[in-house]
Each structure stands twice: as structure tokens, then as C-alpha cells.
Amino acid sequence: MKVQLISRYRSELMGIAIINVMIAHFLSWSNIDPNCNLFIKVLSSSCRLLFTEGFLLLSGFGLYYSFVKNEDLKSFYHKRIKRLLIPFLIISFPFYIYLDFVETIAPTRFLLDISTVYFWIYGNNGMWYISVSLLLYALFPLFCKFIFKKQDNVLVRMLIICLLFTILSVSIYVFFPDYYQRINIGLDKIVIFILGIYLGYIAYSDRSISFIKSFGILTTLLCILHFYKSDYVLADNFHEVIFRFYGLLILCILAFKTERKGLKNRFWAVFSWLGKYSLELYILHMLFYSTIVVRFEMNPIFAILLALLFCMPIGKVAKYLTDRVM
């Protein structure tokens, strides 16, 4: 199987990931027991196929493709600011004005929210993915410089970076457990971004992987980690990482098979559209929940419906303003 399938279906995979995220959040916000019945159990389990880790993996993958085509640092950071930071500022600004100046008067909190620094000090305010992505985008050229400085031992150098971040997570967990509880939702997922970079390297090199071998290795690892995930934090984290690769593999094969049968346009078009507006959907559904849904005690489904309704017009306005600014 060509790893390039990930690039080919990247938009569709991003669409599935954002659906995973929104459904999981709806179940959590509604206090629905994921084991209450078979339908909810299947729905809850399906949300784990990609989830937010899928975003980070696909981000690392896509950044490698972008960077290898143009290694100019100024151009790289310009694109990242234009595609992530500026849209986030434009979309979130009115929400944070309401939360930090209408609901309460908290100018310091506003600065922390709008800068995404809040997560690294106090923990998740719903925007951990943005906070972590900005950090990883800033570090990305350094990752590439170390991993790909030579053509040999690329895998070893990639694993060294993964090991360093794992050691960092463990160290914070051991010595600063309270702080770890605040930021572990983002910190523990950095490794999957690094793995995404390596996948991008494999795909760009036009290499293939054995579906049967990959399926067997991932299944074995999942089974082993399953027995230890309840006892060890790292085992649980790695179990989730492996599960995302498992989901990615299955979804790529499914997309490839349906395309060969002429079903791609009909079956995957909706996921491709969702993937195009995945950033807007992520930001909007979180902020609609923390403002309108919580304020007026509405059903959490409205946060998702409002995000789906406004993602395209707000996305177009944000793009127009971004192009003017940048």
C-alpha cells in the first residue's frame, strides 16, 4: 500500500477527524454514558479512529510535504501564521471579548486566551490543539534539520526526538504532577506529530508498506498495550497513538477501495468539505459551546449545528481579512 494515500485523502481524513472530535465532545457535554446502549457504544468507539491526534498526525504529514517543496523559513512561517494564527485570532476575537469583557471583566485572561498561552499556564480552555500546534509549527524546522540532516538513520533520529518528548512527559508527570494534569492532553500527543512528519517523509519518497504486516504489527501492539493501559499512563497514551494509526490505515484502504468502485465523489465529498473547514469547525464548536450553549443552557448539539452552519461564511470572511492583513 502506498503511504501517499494519506496525502491523496488528507482532506477527507481531516473531515473524519473533525467529525470524531465534535461527536466525542457532544457525548461528553451531554454526560452520555458511552456504554449506555449498543448504538452509543459504537458511536463513541468510532470517534477514536482519528480524533485530535489525527489532526496532529496529518499536520505533521502535510507540513513535511510543504517544507520539502520550499525550505525557505520566512515563507514557511508566513504560511503557518496565515493559515492558523491569523484565522484563529479573527474567529475567536469576538467570543473572547464576550467571555472576558461581558461575562466578566478579565483583561489578563483575554490576553492569555487570545494568545493561546492560557493552556501552557492554567490548562485546557478548549483550545489546547491550537496552543500545541503553534508550538509544533515553530519547532518544525528544527525537527526537520535534526531528523533529515543525513539520509541514513532517519528513523533512529526521529525516534530520538520521540523519546526526548516522552522523557519530558514522564519527568513532568513525576516531578510536577499537578501541572502535568493541566497540560497532558496536549503534551502527550506531541509524539504523534513527530510520527506524522516521518510518515510524510516515507510518502514523499514514494515508498510502500505491507498492509498485512502493518495490520499485524498494529494489532499486536494494541493487544499488548491494552493490558497495561489502566496501570500506566504512558501505556494508555501509546495505546491511543497506535489506535490512530490503526484507524488511519483502515480509512485509507476504505477510501482507496471505494474510489476504485467509482464511489469516491458520492461517499467522500461530505468529508472533503468538512476537512476544508476543519479549523473553523474546531474553533467554532468549542466557542459556541462555552458562550451560547452554556450561557442559555441549550442542548450541546446546538454548538455543533451552529459550527456547521457558520463555518463556511466565517471561514470566507477570515480568509478575506487574512489576505488583507498578510
pLDDT of res. 181: 92
Q: Which residue positions in the chain have pLDDT lower than 70?
A: 1-4, 48-50, 208-219, 221-222, 224-240, 244-246, 248-249, 253, 255-267
Of 98, 92, 87, 132, whose CA–CA distance to 114 is shortest?
92
Within 8 A by CB and 6+ apart from 4, the residues are 203, 206
H or E element at residue 37: none
User: pLDDT digits over 73-132, tens only?
Assistant: 999 999 999 999 999 999 999 999 999 998 888 899 999 999 999 999 999 999 999 999
Task: Say whether pTM exceeds 0.75.
Answer: yes
Q: Tell me the domain boundaries of the chain.
A: 56-264
Residue 2: how many CB atoms within 10 A of its CB? 15
Report the residue count for the chain. Answer: 326
Reported as half-sphere exposure (CB side, CA atoms, 13 A), residue 299 has a value of 4
In terms of Cβ atoms closer than 10 Å to its own Cβ (0-12, 13-18, 19+), residue 257 is exposed
CA distance 29 to 21: 12
- Asked if residue 239 lies in contact with residue 222, where contact means CB atoms within 8 angstroms, the answer is yes
Q: What's the grid cell of residue 292?
A: 451560547
Give the model's pLDDT for residue 43. 73
